[in-house]
Amino acid sequence: MGAQIRLNTPATDLRDGPRWASLNQEVMKMTKTDKGSRADIYTKITERIVADLEKGVRPWVQPWRAGNASGRVTRPLRHNGQCYTGLNVLLLWSESMARGFTSPYWMTLRQANELGAKVRKGETGSTVIYASRFTKTEVDARGGEVERDIPFLKTYSVFSADQILGLPDHYYRQAEPVADPVERIEHADRFFDNTGAVIRHGGSKAFYSPASDHIQMPPFESFQDAASYVAVLGHEHIHWTADSRRVGRDLSRYGKDRSERAREELVAEIGAALLCADLGVVPELEPRPDHASYVESWLRVLEGDRKAIFQAAAHAQRAVAYLHDLQPQAKTEREAA
């Protein structure tokens, strides 16, 4: 399970901004005319991600291709400072890059109004998704009542703080540049130490071994910089969370089924990108020889299953949340609560 992250793509690989902006317009138009068409939402978003992969662009590493050198990378934030999760992170990262937004904050029209602010005239919103389920009581063949969980998917529109006038100053304040990159990497090292994963160094490959439950990493000195090492280690930690004692993703078919391998690598790719954002690490990795084959396998999965990217993002979010829960401050917060 080799890490598959490359974040130093040349400028010619930048995603076509207007095309991604049109994704939100298409989805918004679609949900206005057919709010019950959950399948269309899956299809629209998946088609755009497939189009990116066909061009050799991976949407989940987009934030590091421009505009972030002067400050910390962050996840998109709600009006109350809470981080967006899952696929919404990818969607809002995409919008920020396509439309040149610098503020990490996003909010609905109503939330902006409640803060005494207003959206600039002529601005258009960006689409985020909300997935949940409700319980429905039905009558079975015997006349008895049974409860059934019904999943549903909704979309709604949010605006960047850059599109809104009159917000408090902190919504517009850009992140301060990181003065000491060594300190930032030390913070990342402590993060991984706190997970308790067994990490061995040696050889030329990075992978997670389910049989021995350990992460294998090449020597630190073999990486071009410390940030690249952290990014690969994050990728392998996402694989590490799959064990049944942790979040419990089934890897039993990973080595035999190419589609299952592709799905798990999607999870690890997205999870590593989220971790890098959370840790403030901006790696620049060289492409691996097997990158093209992974892209091809992702395309097959996404073209055959319009829900695959949604599921991968959800699995990645759970894995990252699990790793955060292993940190001492998380335990302290739980005890205080």
Q: pLDDT confidence of 201, banded at 50, 70, 90?
A: confident
Q: Within 13 Å, how many C-alpha atoms sit on residue 193's CB side?
A: 7
Q: What is the pLDDT of residue 178?
A: 54
N- to C-terminal Cα distance for the chain?
A: 38
pLDDT beyond 60 at 136: yes
Task: Single out the residue of 129, 163, 122, 164 nearest to residue 28, CA to CA.
Answer: 129
**CA-to-CA dists, residue 279 to 26, 70, 183, 232, 288, angstroms:** 33, 16, 11, 13, 23
On average, the pLDDT of the chain sits at 78
Residues 6+ apart with CB under 8 A from 296: none
Q: Which residue has the tokens 């793509």?
A: 9
pLDDT beyond 80 at 336: no
Whether 17 is covered by a domain: the verdict is yes
pLDDT beyond 60 at 3: no
Per the structure block, which two tokens stand in for 103? 């503020």
Number of structural domains in the chain: 1
Give the DSSP letter of residue 326.
Answer: T
pLDDT beyond 90 at 157: yes
pLDDT beyond 70 at 208: yes
The backbone region for 121, taken as left when phi is positive above 0, alpha when psi lies in -120 to 50, beta otherwise, is beta
Whether 1 is covered by a domain: the verdict is no
Please compute the mean of the pLDDT values over residues 273-281 and round it to a whole number: 88
Q: 226-240 vs 181-193: helix axis angle to the nearest 10?
A: 20
Whether 249 is covered by a domain: the verdict is yes
**Beta pairing partners, 158:** 126
pLDDT beyond 60 at 328: yes
Q: What is the pLDDT of residue 166?
A: 96
pLDDT beyond 80 at 245: yes
pLDDT beyond 60 at 286: no
pLDDT in tens, 34-93: 444 555 777 877 787 777 777 766 666 644 333 333 445 578 999 999 999 988 988 888
Q: What is the pLDDT of residue 155?
A: 87
Whether 209 is covered by a domain: the verdict is yes
pLDDT beyond 50 at 14: no
Q: pLDDT confidence of 30, banded at 50, 70, 90?
A: very low
Q: For the chain, state the CA radius of gyration.
A: 21
Q: 78-82, 96-100, 208-212 — which is least confidently predicted?
A: 96-100
Query: How do strand 198-201 and strand 214-217 relate by DSSP bridges?
Result: parallel
Its domain, for residue 219, covers 11-336
Q: What is the pLDDT of residue 331?
A: 67
Please compute the mean of the pLDDT values over residues 170-185 and round it to a whole number: 67
Whether 58 is covered by a domain: the verdict is yes
Q: Within 13 Å, how many C-alpha atoms sit on residue 180's CB side?
A: 5
- Contact present, 251 and 273 (Cβ < 8 Å): no
Q: pLDDT confidence of 292, banded at 50, 70, 90?
A: low
Distance from chain centroid for Cα 296: 20
Whether 144 is covered by a domain: the verdict is yes
Give the DSSP letter of residue 135.
Answer: E
Whether 63 is covered by a domain: the verdict is yes
Q: Classify 106 as helix, strand or coil.
A: strand
Hey, CA dihedral for 142, 143, 148, 152, is it positive or negative? positive
Task: Single out the residue of 283, 275, 289, 276 nearest to residue 322, CA to CA.
Answer: 275
Q: Which residue has the tokens 């429905």?
A: 136
pLDDT beyond 70 at 240: yes
pLDDT beyond 50 at 10: no
What's the chain's length in residues?
337
pLDDT beyond 50 at 15: no
Please compute the mean of the pLDDT values over residues 100-114 and round it to a whole number: 92
**Beta pairing partners, 147:** 137
Whether 3 is covered by a domain: the verdict is no
**Beta pairing partners, 101:** none
